Structure 1
Amino acid sequence: MKQKIVLIAILAVLAALLYGFTSHFFDGGSDEYAEMKVPDQVDYNFHIKPILSDNCYTCHGPDANKRKANLRLDLEETAFLELRESPGKYALVPGKPGQSLLYQHIMATDPNFLMPPPDSKLSLNSYEKRLIKKWIEQGAGFEKHWAYIPPEKEELSTVQTTDWVQNEIDAFILAKLEEKSLIPSEKASKETLIRRISLDLTGLPPQREQVQTLMADNSTETIAAAIDVFLASPAYGERMTQSWLDLSRYADSHGYQDDSYRTMWPWRDWVIHAFNKNMPYDEFLTWQLAGDLLPDANKEQILATGFNRNHPITQEGGVIQEEYRTNYVLDRTNTLGKGLLGLTLECARCHDHKYDAISQQDYFELFAFFNQVNEKGLQMDAVQAAKEGFFADPPYIEITAEETDDVLSFINMSKKPEVKVMVMNDSAPKTTFVLNRGEYDQPTDSVEPNTPAQIYPFPEDLPRNRLGLAQWLTDKKNPLTARVFVNRIWGMIFGRGLVETSEDFGVQGSLPSHPKLLNWLAADFMENDWDIKYLLKKIMLSATYQQKSNLRPDLKKADPENIWLARAPRFRMDGEMIRDYILASSGLLNPEIGGPSVRPYQPPGLWEETNAGGERGTLTKYVPDKGEDLYRRSLYTFWKRTLPPPSMTIFDAPTRDFCEVRRQKTNTPLQALALQNDIQVLEAARVMAQREIKKNEDSRNTVKNVFENILVRPPKEEELTTLNAYYEDALETYLASKEEAEQLVSVGEYEQLNTDPARTAALMLTAQVIYNLDETITKE
């Protein structure tokens, strides 16, 4: 008996030691967190709420089925209530951490009393515990979710290294760097900045003549001048439209099984036009949401509403009309949430949102704004219309070639006499119901159009229609719209938004890395009339943007993901930009703006293999175009939902079935294989080689010239030596095998120039090597 007692005592001691060790281990080591200084004023949103959300909400959060001890910590009105299971005791007692059970539990040494419990594999480190203690001491104040508080300009942060600061952006960035004991990087070279600005604003490399002109300018305004040059380029509108198409779920086919053709490209032409004329963002949104409801709406304003008809539409017989019609309205509602408000509204379709303060009733009140369109789940006469060449479901507008000489001059109708484009039209008033579990055939209570009061109450003087919704969305008191757009622009330029989850500004989304900067930019954007070009130029004139991108050893350790921006970002361009870069640098790019989508090279047989509708659909076989249409910008590539362009899918392009605002960035062997073997890359290398040889038949600088054409800079000595050696080896190989050379240079439809096959093949492969360099496909 005594031995058993002694054994139990030993086991208890070992358990206590083991618990102490694991507590120390999960705490991350007391020394590491002991050095972290608790801020003078603890912020609920940025310091406390993330701790509670990660560690406490599972048992004490919004999910009633999992809630324990009847304690809910995510709401202020419940967090301070007397605990039912412990009368006279409270989880939080403002100003008194010692009397707050929350604090007592997180500080406990007894594993039976400790929170979070050890078996949850969750724990708080010493810094987090000190934060909670100080928060309670300061009154345990709750706040509205940070993204629902209207942005305001705060005073610029005080910094020590003032000579680095070029504008307000830098003051916020530098303050954070100094807080983290980091220093910014040196300014990038003028050549690097010109290429960087050109890629960011046009999606294309700068032309060599542009670089030479800008490099010759030795004034302090060179960078500002470069920004103005590229902002004024027609390619700017194409670049901005490219990213808007993912958000707008634009495609050239309806989707679903038959996946037949649709004509929405005139709407795409309008988006390019809107960006190029620098339409203010609030107006840009208003026209797309409710252009048809504007007073005396013209055809351009009505065309803009095609934005909300871009969703997939079924053309299959036997569907349930109301089910699919409801799906279309759900899509518009979800796009408003994800694309424009940065919220996961779709979570509230079936039940109240578990994390964000959005109820199911809120969801269907927003749904009601989009529920008045006179459309059907399946428009049977549209199937016949498709056979006749008119690919649009009502409501639609008809555009003729004559009209493009006037108000619709931005539409490229050179190849079509007339088209029909789907638009919005509130001509079928409907009563909207909350749908039980989101099911189309389970209506419950009726609701009127309204917006979530937690975000911003719908003003009484606005009409309860889509125009009123657009005015609510672009009201300067709306806390989300400007923030979400500014963050997306920042993400486009830096590869990561100030809020990484650019699609989710809710409770479960990422916190902003620089909240004061985000607020300042959003407020400044609205103060300057929602001017997109102004916003872009402001960012690009900052010292933050103009840094070198080199990963210094100290940054590799302290900030490997470049969250604090002590260097410029460096990331792979998306598939469209890579293809456009190759076409532009080779001289193949066709600069024509707008018009029907085109069909460049694609592996044969893909459409036939994936066509589920037999011969019923109009898109059963892919036939590549001929001539100049093969070399249009990727923006104009035909987009079939059930099989998007494979060269872009490989580089993480979405299907566009749904709204997407943030693409993945992966690095896969397939991407390398595509760059090495894609006919478009090989043809571009061939054409560049032939043109260079034709222009300089006796020149010793052909390799150097090809390098400069592609990378917009002269090669370093060791780079040129390596590439010249590669070229000479290839030339020797092809001189000994003229047949192989002739076979290689025959690639592509573009006209052949009369050049020596061996030299052409050798220079072609050298160009292909340069196209495959990391620097070529990287925006840095």
Structure 2
Amino acid sequence: MKLFIINNLSKPRKHMLRHLTQILLVSILIFTSCSEKASEADVLTSGDQVSYNFHVRPILSDNCFACHGPDENKRESGLRLDSEESAYAALKENPGAHAIVPGNPAKSEIVARIESTDASEMMPPPESNLKLSATEIETIKKWIKQGAKYEPHWAFVPPTKSPLPKTSNAEWANNEIDHFVLAKLDQLGLKPNEPADKMLLLKRLSLDLTGLPPTMELMRSYEADDSENATEKIIDKLLSKPSFGERMAVLWMDIARYSDSYGYQDDNIRTQWPYRDWVIHAFNKNLPYDTFITWQLAGDLLPNANKEQILATAFNRNHKYTEEGGVIPEEYRVEYILDKTNTFSKAIIGMTVECAQCHDHKYDPISQENYFQMYSFFNNTPEQGYEGDVSVSKPAKHPIMWVEKEDLEGILDFVNHQDTSKIMVSVMDDFKDTLRQTYILDRGIYDQPTTMVTPSTPEAILKFDENKYPKNRLGLAQWTFAEDNPLTARVFVNLMWQEFFGAGIVRSAGDFGMQGKLPTHPELLDWLAVDFRESGWDVKYLIKKILSSATYQQSATVDKNKIEADPDNFYLARYPRIRLNAEHIRDLVLASSGLISDEIGGPSVKPYQPEGLWEAATSGRGELAEYRQDIGNDLYRRGLYTFIKLTSPPPKPIIFDGSNRDVCEVTRNRTNTPLQALAMLNDPLILEASRVLANNLIREGKEDDEAIKEAFFKIICRAPKEEELALLIEYHQEELKRFKQKPETILETVKAGEFPLDQFSDTPETAALMQVLVAIYNVEEAITKT
């Protein structure tokens, strides 16, 4: 990869990259990446007692439930292995045999089949390309011998607060979280890392709570504060900053599939951005999570609903819309309701129910009837699949809400709107005098209605009490936050854990069903879920609890023994090294260079991007046919505000694994590709930020060494080590010599970006320091939480 990059760079870039490589070798901790086929299963199957939930069900779900699970239409031989009653019963085709005989593996037909080598008898059948390992077979036999006790799916059992476990070192714990983590580490014979370096912890906290690096002032004050509660004070200070809401909104925009265009062929502009302003406001105000979700699901159905509560329902309307003539409106209207249903289930209750649109779920106890019962909660809106004349594109689709000038001085004072025009936002509404009937759709096809259903929820999760809840979206919200709902609190707690540790306690954050990952710390997840609910659904309380833990505050140093025992860091014997999200990489560059705009909210902006991308992915009609780059302050807005066109998402965020916002996403991938390295080396923003910061340091009269040290502090958030500083100074001297010898190359180097040049810009000193800063931005540690 290094050779690929070097061979595709100009000579100055190759020269800089050689020094960058040296810096990387000195300053980056090399760590081993292992496959995810880690020791999770081995750890879970250790010990004497085999659990159906944690040991047996995952094996059956992966290998057997497709033919012997909840889907009645695909079930073979009438046998359900996910049901105790069916698994114990006499086999339909052989009444003298039983699939499972508790306490007797030898008489259990399932054991004979999974051990068989006869292709006509063996299970799973050869054509399935599935095969149980020897360990999996022994696990099933051991479970049967112990009585083959079935258990309800762990995620469908309401969480409880178990007592804190005993550990080898109770003094290590900062709060309850640490007792559960250390108890698991004790089982593995591992010890947690030492506390993180103070400056590295500050960078971690600042990036996690604001999406921005700490300022020089904050670094100095924290470093000088030796009090016992210094870190607690920093957490409280960062939680109170307006940038906290912006940082949290990045996550929620992925969940809410927010975009600035409609998608499909014409992909014209829409104005949902006041909803984004509301999300920022809600997080900063610390709106309780139950209120936050209730308003988004059903704010319009609340008694005497105000405009803020109605605006929140734009959450449901952020999906794609077609503006293409000739479509079948009902087909797209159904598609929009399906999207709402799937978004609710994945984001709020952590269940992937969409396959039940066409048939009963193959793995989870969710029937097609259940699916369309949930669908019916969203099916009573006057929303249309197609609104008519393709030549007229409106920035919002009915039902709509107008944001007017008087609203900005009252209930919607958090909306950043600079002119006097009204804004249209797509929101929710229900028919008042009629009720749209909902039918199960045969194979999920829009024009194939079969049996009529009414609003309800899967009983396997929690029965919908029609005497307690109205049969509308408000009733769905009340069901979602019922005290005995087993999923809602767990799912959000897990989502927050994922934000700060890179992976959730349940690593499949959008799937708590049978095919989802098992929780690595089930008792901890349940304790946090109950604690969160008992706090009054206090989001900042939950976040502070996680970030105050010794688990979070330990160092990210990698130890060989820990790598061997827990290669994927499931059990957190160290803090994980996590590359920043795409938006926060942009924010770090803008903030450290001094370019960043602190304006909060408002319409999305169009920063630098390669020419021709939009033009190559458009029908050639409408306001978004051509990309018109913004100018001035708008070029330096945070990544949250970058314009998202669905048919041509902004390239820099996509290169760094940003969401394309087509559908609800609760987890982003983290990849390493040559494109990312090339983007960091050549992105106009990186070059412009390096030039502006170099220019400012020289204008302030900083000596070379001092300027490099301060830049390193601003970007890396710590002092450079002696060897790092020596390499950077050496590189600076070489670049300074080169620019003095070839002054004609200076202007070409420093004119990157739109920020104006001044008398300090077009000098060898600025150009040389700029090259050093580009190198620092390209150190892996710059865009990594450590």
Q: CA RMSD in A?
A: 2.2
Q: Does residue 441 of structure 2 align to residue 423 of structure 1? A: no
Residue in 2 that maps onto 1:723: 728
Residue in 2 that maps onto 1:366: 374
Q: Distance in 2 between matches of 1:136 and 1:432?
A: 44
Q: Distance in 1 between matches of 2:426 and 2:532?
A: 32
Could you say if the C-alpha distance between residues 249 and 35 of structure 1 is closer, same or farther in structure 2, counting changes exceeding 3 Å? closer
Which of residues 248, 253, 259 in structure 1 aligns to 2:267?
259
Residue in 1 that maps onto 2:411: 407
Residue in 1 that maps onto 2:160: 152
- Equivalent residue of 2:95, what SS? coil
Which of residues 526, 536, 539 in structure 2 aligns to 1:532?
539
Q: Point out where structure 1 has 5 or more consecutive residues left out of the alignment.
A: 1-27
Q: Distance in 1 between matches of 2:759 and 2:770?
A: 14
Q: Distance in 2 between matches of 1:90 and 1:252?
A: 58
Q: Distance in 2 between matches of 1:495 and 1:401?
A: 42
Q: Distance in 2 between matches of 1:699 and 1:120?
A: 66
Could you report, residue by residue, the CA deviation over 1:711-733 in whole angstroms, capped at 9, with x for unpaired residues?
A: 11110000000111111111111
Which of residues 633, 640, 659 in structure 2 aligns to 1:654?
659
Q: Are the equivalent residues in 1 in contact too, given 2:65–2:363 (CA < 8 A)?
A: no
Q: Are the equivalent residues in 2 in contact too, given 1:33–1:126 (CA < 8 A)?
A: no
Could you report, residue by residue, the CA deviation over 1:359-399 in whole angstroms, capped at 9, with x for unpaired residues?
A: 11111111111111112111126963x4xxx5111111111
Which of residues 462, 471, 483 in structure 2 aligns to 1:464?
471
Residue in 2 that maps onto 1:679: 684
Residue in 1 that maps onto 2:600: 593
Q: Distance in 2 between matches of 1:313 and 1:33?
A: 43
Q: Are the equivalent residues in 2 in contact too, given 1:350–1:438 (CA < 8 A)?
A: yes
Counterpart code for 2:414: F
Could you say if the C-alpha distance between residues 376 and 157 of structure 1 is closer, same or farther in structure 2, counting changes exceeding 3 Å? same
Residue in 2 that maps onto 1:398: 402
Residue in 2 that maps onto 1:143: 151
Residue in 2 that maps onto 1:12: none
Could you say if the C-alpha distance between residues 36 and 218 of structure 1 is closer, same or farther in structure 2, counting changes exceeding 3 Å? closer
Residue in 2 that maps onto 1:8: none
Q: Distance in 1 between matches of 2:567 and 2:248?
A: 29
Could you say if the C-alpha distance between residues 292 and 33 of structure 1 is closer, same or farther in structure 2, counting changes exceeding 3 Å? closer
Q: Distance in 2 between matches of 1:413 and 1:539?
A: 35
Q: Distance in 2 between matches of 1:177 and 1:725?
A: 45
Q: Distance in 2 between matches of 1:108 and 1:328?
A: 48
- Equivalent residue of 2:424, what SS? strand
Q: Does residue 170 of structure 2 align to residue 162 of structure 1? A: yes
Q: Point out where structure 2 has 5 or more consecutive residues left out of the alignment.
A: 1-36
Q: Distance in 2 between matches of 1:37 and 1:64?
A: 31
Residue in 1 that maps onto 2:276: 268
Q: Does residue 784 of structure 2 align to residue 778 of structure 1? A: yes
- Equivalent residue of 1:437, what SS? helix
- Equivalent residue of 1:685, what SS? helix
- Equivalent residue of 1:89, what SS? strand
Could you say if the C-alpha distance between residues 442 and 94 of structure 1 is closer, same or farther in structure 2, counting changes exceeding 3 Å? same
Residue in 2 that maps onto 1:5: none
Q: Are the equivalent residues in 2 in contact too, given 1:151–1:522 (CA < 8 A)?
A: yes
Q: Are the equivalent residues in 1 in contact too, given 2:592–2:715 (CA < 8 A)?
A: yes
Q: Distance in 1 between matches of 2:440 and 2:197?
A: 58
Q: Distance in 1 between matches of 2:42 and 2:396?
A: 65
Residue in 1 that maps onto 2:385: 377
Which of residues 740, 743, 750 in structure 1 aligns to 2:745?
740
Q: Distance in 2 between matches of 1:64 and 1:367?
A: 21
Could you say if the C-alpha distance between residues 294 and 34 of structure 1 is closer, same or farther in structure 2, counting changes exceeding 3 Å? closer
Q: Distance in 2 between matches of 1:626 and 1:116?
A: 62
Per the TM alignment, residue 35 of structure 1 is displaced from its structure 2 partner at its CA by: 11
- Equivalent residue of 2:554, what SS? coil
Q: Are the equivalent residues in 2 in contact too, given 1:487–1:497 (CA < 8 A)?
A: yes
Q: Distance in 1 between matches of 2:713 and 2:679?
A: 23
Identity %: 53
Q: Are the equivalent residues in 2 in contact too, given 1:370–1:466 (CA < 8 A)?
A: yes
Residue in 2 that maps onto 1:14: none
Deviates more, 1:550-559 or 1:106-115: 106-115
Q: Are the equivalent residues in 1 in contact too, given 2:577–2:784 (CA < 8 A)?
A: yes
Residue in 1 that maps onto 2:552: 545
Per the TM alignment, residue 104 of structure 1 is displaced from its structure 2 partner at its CA by: 4.8
Which of residues 453, 463, 469 in structure 2 aligns to 1:447?
453
Q: Distance in 2 between matches of 1:610 and 1:123?
A: 44
- Equivalent residue of 2:97, what SS? coil
Q: How many residues align?
A: 744
Could you say if the C-alpha distance between residues 274 and 64 of structure 1 is closer, same or farther in structure 2, counting changes exceeding 3 Å? closer
Residue in 1 that maps onto 2:706: 701
Q: Are the equivalent residues in 2 in contact too, given 1:36–1:127 (CA < 8 A)?
A: no
Could you say if the C-alpha distance between residues 604 and 503 of structure 1 is closer, same or farther in structure 2, counting changes exceeding 3 Å? same
Q: Distance in 2 between matches of 1:513 and 1:765?
A: 45
Could you say if the C-alpha distance between residues 495 and 520 of structure 1 is closer, same or farther in structure 2, counting changes exceeding 3 Å? same
Q: Does residue 339 of structure 2 align to residue 331 of structure 1? A: yes
Q: Distance in 1 between matches of 2:66 and 2:388?
A: 49
Could you say if the C-alpha distance between residues 65 and 408 of structure 1 is closer, same or farther in structure 2, counting changes exceeding 3 Å? closer
Could you report, residue by residue, the CA deviation over 1:533-561 in whole angstroms, capped at 9, with x for unpaired residues?
A: 11111111111101111111112212121
Per the TM alignment, residue 401 of structure 1 is displaced from its structure 2 partner at its CA by: 2.3
Could you say if the C-alpha distance between residues 218 and 368 of structure 1 is closer, same or farther in structure 2, counting changes exceeding 3 Å? same
Q: Distance in 2 between matches of 1:596 and 1:398?
A: 15
Higher-Rg structure is 1
Question: How do 1:70-89 residues align onto structure 2 when only pairs under 5 Å count?
Answer: 70-89=78-97
Q: Distance in 2 between matches of 1:54 and 1:422?
A: 41
- Equivalent residue of 1:775, what SS? helix
Which of residues 215, 220, 231 in structure 1 aligns to 2:223?
215
Q: Are the equivalent residues in 2 in contact too, given 1:598–1:632 (CA < 8 A)?
A: yes
- Equivalent residue of 2:49, what SS? coil
Q: Are the equivalent residues in 2 in contact too, given 1:742–1:758 (CA < 8 A)?
A: no
Q: Are the equivalent residues in 1 in contact too, given 2:71–2:359 (CA < 8 A)?
A: no
Question: How do 1:756-767 residues align onto structure 2 when only pairs under 5 Å count?
Answer: 757-767=763-773
Scaled by the length of structure 2, the TM-score of the pair is: 0.91
Counterpart code for 1:513: T
Q: Are the equivalent residues in 2 in contact too, given 1:396–1:422 (CA < 8 A)?
A: yes
Which of residues 275, 278, 281 in structure 1 aligns to 2:286?
278
